[in-house]
Structure 1
Amino acid sequence: MIKSPILQSLLASRHDVTQNPEVNNYRAKEQECLYILKRCKNIKEFKQVHARFIKLSLFCSSSFSASNVLSTCAHSGWDKSMNYAASIFRAIDDPCTFDFNTMIRGYVNETGYEEALWFYVEMVKRGIEPDNFTYPCLLKACTRLRSIQEGKQIHGHVFKLGFEVDVFVQNSLINMYGRCGEMELSSAVFEKLESKTAASWSSMVSARAGMGMWSECLMLFREMCRETNLKAEESGMVSALSACANTNALNLGMSIHGFLLRNISELNIAVQTSLVDMYAKCGCLEKALYIFRKMESRNNLTYSAMISGLALHGEGEAALRMFSEMIEEGLESDHVVYVSVLNACSHSGLVKEGRRVFEEMLKEGTVEPTAEHYGCLVDLLGRAGLLEEALETIQTMPIEQNDVVWRSFLSSCRVHQNVELGQIAARELLKLSSHNSGDYLVISNMYAQAQMWEDVARARTEMAAIKGLKQIPGFSTVEVDGKTHRFVSQDRFHPNCKEIYKMLHQMEWQLKFEGYSPDTTQILLNVDEEEKRERLKGHSQKVAIAFALLYTPPGSIIRIARNLRMCSDCHTYTKKISLIYEREIVVRDRNRFHLFKGGTCSCKDYW
C-alpha cells in the first residue's frame, strides 16, 4: 500500500493506465511502478515503491525492473542510500554488467572507493564481463586512493579486453597515472592517443596540476591552446587556474577568465571557486571578492578560498567576518577552513581571536585538530612574540610533535632573536631528521643575527655534509608583457642587466633624499659594512622592481612574487619606492601579500 501523499497523487494521475482494461497486465504494472519510481523524493518513498515491486513479483521476474530499482537507489545521493542499494544488489539472483557498474559508480560517487574495487573483484570472479563504462569509475577510485598497483592491474585488464582505444578509458588512465605520481606513464598514454580530444588534453593538464607541477601544467595548457582548435573542458580550466594561482600568472588567469565568459553561459561552482582562488592568490583581492559576492551558491571550498585569500592579504578581521557568514549560511567548518581562519588571525596579529577560534574547534569536536592546526596556533603566538606560550603549546599538544610545529616555532625565534629557545627548536628538528635545507638556513641565520659565527659555520657544514640536500636560492619574479622574468640576488645574467643596474643606481640616489638608510643587519655574513651595503643593493626584489619600473607603463601596478620571506630592508626600501615613483607595488612572499602604496604597506609592518 502506497502511504505517501505525493506518491498517491502520482498514482492517481496515471488513470489512463489504471482504468485501461489491461490494468492487470504484467507490462502495465511494471510501467506504472517504474513511473512512480523515478519520482521518489527520499529514501522513505523509495522503500515503499520497492516494496510494491516485490509485492507484484516484478523485482524477481524482471531484470529490467530490478536494475532500475538498483540504479535509482545507488545514484540518488540520499543518506545511507548505498547501504540499501547493497541489500538490493544481493537480492538480485543474476546481476549483469549494468548492475555491477551501478554499484561501482554509486560507491565512487559516495567516496566508497575501496568498496568499488571490491565489487570489481567480485565481478571478475563471477565471470561477468566489464564494459567501457566500468573502467572510468574504477580508475577514479584508484586515483582517489592513490592505489597505483591496483591501477596498473586494471590497465592490464583494459588492454586485454580491448578497451584501451576507448577515449573515456584513456583519459581516466592519463588522470590516474598523473595523480598517482607516475607522470611518465601518464605521458605515455597521452602520446599514444591517435586523436587527442579536449578531454584528453584536460586530463593531462589536470594530472600535472595534481602533482603540483604548476609550470609544466601551464606549458601544456599553452601548447593545447596554440597547437589545436580544441577548447579545454571545465576541469582543465580549473587546473589551469590553479596553476596560475600558484605561479602568480595573473595575465594568463585573466585570459582564461575571459575565455570562460565568452564560451560558457553559466560557470559551475568549481570554476567560480577557482577564479576566486586565482585572483586572491595573484593579488587582486577586490576582484576575488566581487566574483565571490556574485556567486548564487557557495560551498566550503568557496569560503575556504576566500578566507585564505583574505589571510594572504592580512585582512584578518574581514576573514573572521567571512567565517561567521559561512556559519550563518549553515555550512559546517572543515579542516581546511579552520586552517585558513587561524592563518588569517596569525598574519594580522589577532591573538585573542585566534585563540577563541581554536578553542571553538576543540569544543565543537566536528574537526579533529591536526599538527597543521597546532602549527597555525604556534605561528600565531610566535609571530606575536609569545614564545614561551608557543613552546608550552607544542610540549602539551595531545598529538605527536612533528617538524611543522617546530619549524614554525624556530622561525618565530629567529624573527624575535631568541637564540636560547631557537636552539631547542633546532635540536628537536634535527632529532626528527627532517633534512630540510630551509631549517639549516634558518638556524644559521639565527646564529648570524647573534654574531655566533662558529655556530653559523657548524650549521652550514652539517648542511653540506648531508647528501642530496640542496639550498634553494632566493628569487623574485615579475611578469612584463606576458613573460615572467626571474631574478636572484646580485643577478647579472639578464639581457637587460646594464639598464637594470643603472636604474638601481638612480633609485638609490632618489632614496637618499627620502632618508633611506640600508639595514645592514639583514646581511648575515661576517663581512665589513661596505660589502654588506653592496650586497643589500642587489637583493632580488630590488632588481625585479628596477626592471619593472623600466619596462612597464608609468602608473601601472607592479606585481612581484618571491619564494622566501621578505627582509626588513627590502620592506622599507619598497615602501619608499612606491612613494617616490608613485606606483602600487604588490609583493607576494612565501607567506602573504604586501601592498605598497604611497610609502605605506598593507601589512602595517606586521609580517
Structure 2
Amino acid sequence: MQFMETLSTPLVSLPIQANPEAPTVKSDNQNRPVLSLIDQKLFTASTLSPFSSLEYARKVFDEIPEPNLYMWNTLIRAYSWSPEPSESVKIFLRMLCESPYFPNKFTFPFLIKAATKLSRLGVGQVFHGLVVKSSFGDDVFILNSLIHFYASCGDLDFAYRVFVRIGEKDVVSWNSMISRFVQGGCFDKALELFKEMEAENVKPNAVTKVGVLSACTKMKDLEFGRWVRSYIEQKGIKMDLTLSNAMLDMYAKCGSVEDAKKLFDEMEEKDIVSWTTMIDGYAKLGEYDLGAMDVGEWNHENIKKQRMKLNCHLTTSLIDMYSKCVEELQLICSTEGMKLRSSPMLLLLPMYYACACSHSGLVEEGRMFFNQMEPVYGVVPGVKHYACMVDILGRAGLLEEAVEFIEKMPITPSASVWGALLGACKIHENVELAEQACSRLLELEPENDKALVLLSNIYAKTEKWDNVSELKKRMRVSGLQKERGWSSMEVNGTLHKFLAADNSHPLSKEIYSKLEEIVAKLKSSGHVTNKSLLLQLVDEEDMKEQGLNLHGEKLAIAFGLISTSPSQLIRIVKNLRVCGDCHTVAKLISKLYNREILLRDRYRFHHFSGGNCSCMDYWCRWEELVLKNSTQTS
C-alpha cells in the first residue's frame, strides 16, 4: 500500500524528459567503461539466467555505482516476471529519484506487465498516462501490453479503445484482442474481429487460429469452425500440436465426432490432451445424439497399446464413457487398477456406479454405493446423486419407495429428480403419480416440452386418448412441439437419416423390399407385433402394425443389411428412446440374420447379438413380451 501511495502522488507530477542522453563518463577513470561492461554482463547473467537468483542480482545491482538505463530496465523486467511484481514499481520509483534517466519504450511494457499481475487498474492507468506524455503512445508493443492489461482487469471496453487507436496493428495486436474477447465471453465479437483482420489483409498465425477456434467451440459454431479448418489448409498454416488439439476440441464440443476422428487419425503427433479430448467427445455423445462405443473402446485399446499413463482426466473420461453399463464399468476399474477407496479422482465413481446400476437393475448395489458416498468416500450427495437414486428405485418398480425417498431429501428436489420419477411412471404405467411428477417438474421448468410429451405417452399407453388430445392442444397453444424421432447410420463416411415411414432415401425401394422380407421372416419365426406400443389412436389393427413396422430404426436396420458386408457391425443412432417393439425386432434380426447391431438411443447403448441385448431387457418392462417371444422362437 505504501508504494501505491508513493505512486499516486509524485509520479504524475514528475517532469517529463524526452530521451535524455546518458551521463558522460568521467575522464579521470579510464577503466570505467571496461568495468561498466563487466558489471552489465554480470548483472544480466544473474538477473535473466534460468538459474538466476533475484536476491543475488539485487545485491549485484546495489554494488554498481552508476547503473545505466539498460540495468534499470533489466531489474524492472526481472521483477515483473517474479512472484513480487510490486518490486518492479518500487525499482521504477527509485530509478526516477536516483538516476538521471527517464523510462524509455523498453521500460513501459514491463511496468504494465507488473500492473497486470497486480490487477490494479489505477496503477496501469498511471503508466498509460506516462506513455502518452512520453510520446510513446504510438508504440505498438506498448499498446499491445495495455490491451492485455485492461482486458485482464476486466475492462474490455477500454482494451478495445486502445486497440482501435493503434495505427498499424500487427498480428499480436489482433491476437491479443481476439483472445481477450474469447476469455471475456464475447465470442461473437472475437469472430467479428477475425473477419475484420481478414479484410485488413493481416496474415493470421497459429495463435490467431487457436483463439478463433476457442470462440467457435464456445458458440458451438461448427460451420465456422469447419471454414477455419479450410482456411488453414488454403493458407498453408502449419498445424502444430496446439492448433490441432484446439481444432479437435472444437469438433468434439460442437458434436461432430466424425470430423474429430478424421482429424485425430491425420495427426502425426498426439499427446494426452488429444486422447482425452477424443474420449471425452465419445463419452458425451448422448448430448449430441451421436453413438460409437466401439470407437471409444478402440481409443481405449490404443491407449493401452501405446502404454500411455492414465491421468485423472483421461481416467474420468473412460469411466464416463463406460458408465451406462455396470459390468463394463467394473471391468475398466479393475483392469486399470483403480482403487475405489484410495484414488482421489474416483470421488465421482459412486455416482457413475449408481448410474450404471440404474440401467442394469442392480437396486441393492446402487443403494449401497449411494449410502457409502458420505461415510466412506467423504462426498456429500448432490442433486444428481439423488436423481440417480430415484431412477434406480423407479426403474425397479419401487415407486412408493422412490416417492418416500424424494420426500426425505435434505435438499430441494430438482427437475431431474421429478423427471426420473416421471420416466419410471411411464415404464410402469402409473398415471396418477405421473401427473403429480409432471406437475412438479413443470413448476420448475414451465417450458419443458419433454415432460408433456412423456405424460402424453403415458396417457396413450393406458389408452386415455382424451387426455392425449388435451395435452396436444396445450402444447399447440404454448408453442411447444414434440421432438420428431429419427435414426441414422453412417456408411462409408456418409450419414443416412431415417424418419418414420420415410421414403426420401435414394435406395428407398430396396430398403422397403428388405423390410418386407424382414417382417415375413419375423412372422414365420412366431413374432407378434405388440400393437399396444403404438402411442397413437389408430382403429384398424393392420394400420397399427404397419405404423410400428415403419419406425425409423427398422428402416435403418434394413438399410444396414443391404449396404454393409455380413461380417460388419451395423451401428445406428436414435435421438429418442428406442421403442419396445423395435428393441425386440432388433434382437430377433441379430439372431435370424446372424448380424451384430449396435444401437445408441438417448439413454444408453444396446448391443444386439444372437437374439440378446447387452441391456438384458431391463431398460423397460417388457418381461412378458420377451418371455412370449423366446418361447415362440425357441
- Same fold, TM-score > 0.5, yes or no: yes
CA distance in 2, matches of 1:226, 1:292: 29
Q: What whole-Å deviation, never above 9, does each CA across 1:403-423 have from its counterpart, x for those lacking one?
A: 222222211221222222222
CA distance in 1, matches of 2:244, 2:400: 46
Moved more, 270-279 or 192-201: 192-201
Percent identity over the alignment is: 29
Moved more, 50-59 or 495-504: 50-59
- Give the deviation of 1:255 after TM superposition: 2.6
- Residues 1:181 and 1:483: Cα distance change in structure 2 (over 3 Å): farther
Secondary structure of the residue aligned to 1:332 is helix
Q: What whole-Å deviation, never above 9, does each CA across 1:507-534 have from its counterpart, x for those lacking one?
A: 1112223332212222111213322211
Secondary structure of the residue aligned to 1:479 is strand
- Give the deviation of 1:181 after TM superposition: 7.2
Q: Would you say how many aligned residue pairs link Structure 1 and Structure 2?
A: 541
User: Which of 270, 274, 284 lines up with 1:271 in the alignment?
Assistant: 274
User: Which of 379, 390, 394 lines up with 1:382 in the alignment?
Assistant: 394
- 5+ residue gaps in structure 2? 1-33, 94-106, 132-141, 286-291, 620-634
Structure number with greater Rg is: 2
- Residues 1:433 and 1:545: Cα distance change in structure 2 (over 3 Å): same
Matched, 1:462 2:463: no
What does 1:171-182 correspond to in 2, within 5 Å?
Answer: 171=175, 174=178
Would the aligned equivalents of 1:557 and 1:584 in 2 still touch at CA under 8 Å? yes
Secondary structure of the residue aligned to 2:410 is coil
CA distance in 2, matches of 1:28, 1:222: 47
The one-letter code matched in structure 2 to 1:210 is K
CA distance in 1, matches of 2:335, 2:557: 34
What does 1:110-509 correspond to in 2, within 5 Å?
Answer: 118-119=119-120, 122-127=123-128, 130-132=142-144, 135=147, 150-151=155-156, 153-162=158-167, 165-171=169-175, 174=178, 184-192=188-196, 193=198, 194=201, 195-213=203-221, 215-216=222-223, 219-220=226-227, 223-224=230-231, 227=234, 229-234=236-241, 237-238=244-245, 240-241=247-248, 252-260=259-267, 263-264=268-269, 267-278=270-281, 281=285, 282-283=292-293, 284-293=295-304, 294=306, 296-313=308-325, 315-318=328-331, 321=334, 325=338, 330-333=343-346, 340-363=352-375, 369-467=381-479, 469-509=480-520
- Residues 1:410 and 1:154: Cα distance change in structure 2 (over 3 Å): farther
Q: Which residue of 2 aligns with 1:587?
A: 599
Secondary structure of the residue aligned to 1:420 is helix
Q: What whole-Å deviation, never above 9, does each CA across 1:68-119 have from its counterpart, x for those lacking one?
A: 245243xxxxxxxxxxx46656755559432543674x6xxxxxxxx8xx44
- Give the deviation of 1:490 after TM superposition: 1.4
Matched, 1:71 2:81: yes
- Residues 1:204 and 1:381: Cα distance change in structure 2 (over 3 Å): farther
The one-letter code matched in structure 1 to 2:212 is M
Would the aligned equivalents of 1:172 and 1:203 in 2 still touch at CA under 8 Å? no
- Give the deviation of 1:590 after TM superposition: 1.1
- Residues 1:180 and 1:374: Cα distance change in structure 2 (over 3 Å): farther
Q: Which residue of 1 aligns with 2:9?
A: none
The one-letter code matched in structure 2 to 1:259 is E
Matched, 1:539 2:539: no
- Give the deviation of 1:550 after TM superposition: 1.9
Moved more, 522-531 or 303-312: 522-531
Q: What whole-Å deviation, never above 9, does each CA across 1:129-182 have from its counterpart, x for those lacking one?
A: 65435646876x69xxxx8xx54553333222358x443554565566568776
Q: What whole-Å deviation, never above 9, does each CA across 1:214-264 have from its counterpart, x for those lacking one?
A: x5367436645775544545455445545665788665444322211xx22
Q: Which residue of 1 aligns with 2:618?
A: 606
User: Which of 509, 524, 538 lines up with 1:527 in the alignment?
Assistant: 538
Q: Which residue of 1 aligns with 2:110?
A: 98
Moved more, 354-363 or 481-490: 354-363
Q: What whole-Å deviation, never above 9, does each CA across 1:532-574 have from its counterpart, x for those lacking one?
A: 2111111111111122222223321221111111111111111
- Give the deviation of 1:201 after TM superposition: 4.3
Moved more, 457-466 or 324-333: 324-333
The one-letter code matched in structure 2 to 1:388 is E
Secondary structure of the residue aligned to 2:510 is helix
- Give the deviation of 1:297 after TM superposition: 3.4
Q: Which residue of 2 aligns with 1:81?
A: none
- Residues 1:63 and 1:373: Cα distance change in structure 2 (over 3 Å): farther
CA distance in 2, matches of 1:343, 1:89: 54
Matched, 1:512 2:540: no
CA distance in 1, matches of 2:307, 2:342: 14
Q: Which residue of 2 aligns with 1:596?
A: 608
- Residues 1:474 and 1:222: Cα distance change in structure 2 (over 3 Å): farther
- Give the deviation of 1:277 after TM superposition: 3.0
Please give the TM-score of this superposition, normalised by the length of structure 1. Answer: 0.76
- Give the deviation of 1:445 after TM superposition: 0.7
Secondary structure of the residue aligned to 2:489 is strand
- Give the deviation of 1:441 after TM superposition: 0.3
Secondary structure of the residue aligned to 1:325 is coil
The one-letter code matched in structure 2 to 1:271 is S
Would the aligned equivalents of 1:59 and 1:66 in 2 still touch at CA under 8 Å? no
- Residues 1:392 and 1:441: Cα distance change in structure 2 (over 3 Å): same
CA distance in 2, matches of 1:27, 1:246: 52
Computed over aligned residues only, the root mean square deviation of the Cα atoms, in angstroms, reads 3.9
Q: What whole-Å deviation, never above 9, does each CA across 1:349-398 have from its counterpart, x for those lacking one?
A: 34444444444443478766543333333323333333333333433333
CA distance in 1, matches of 2:90, 2:375: 44
Q: Which residue of 2 aligns with 1:76?
A: none
- Residues 1:473 and 1:191: Cα distance change in structure 2 (over 3 Å): same
Q: What whole-Å deviation, never above 9, does each CA across 1:161-211 have from its counterpart, x for those lacking one?
A: 358x44355456556656877665444223332335454444434433323
Would the aligned equivalents of 1:520 and 1:532 in 2 still touch at CA under 8 Å? yes
Would the aligned equivalents of 2:360 and 2:616 in 1 still touch at CA under 8 Å? no
Please give the TM-score of this superposition, normalised by the length of structure 2. Answer: 0.74
Q: What whole-Å deviation, never above 9, does each CA across 1:551-601 have from its counterpart, x for those lacking one?
A: 223321221111111111111111122222232221111122111222222
Moved more, 398-407 or 475-484: 398-407
- Residues 1:88 and 1:301: Cα distance change in structure 2 (over 3 Å): farther
Would the aligned equivalents of 2:319 and 2:352 in 1 still touch at CA under 8 Å? yes
CA distance in 2, matches of 1:381, 1:166: 62
Secondary structure of the residue aligned to 1:594 is strand
CA distance in 1, matches of 2:574, 2:319: 22
- Residues 1:344 and 1:38: Cα distance change in structure 2 (over 3 Å): farther
Would the aligned equivalents of 2:143 and 2:163 in 1 still touch at CA under 8 Å? no
- 5+ residue gaps in structure 1? 1-20, 41-48, 74-84, 107-114
- Give the deviation of 1:429 after TM superposition: 1.5
The one-letter code matched in structure 1 to 2:262 is S
CA distance in 2, matches of 1:242, 1:606: 35
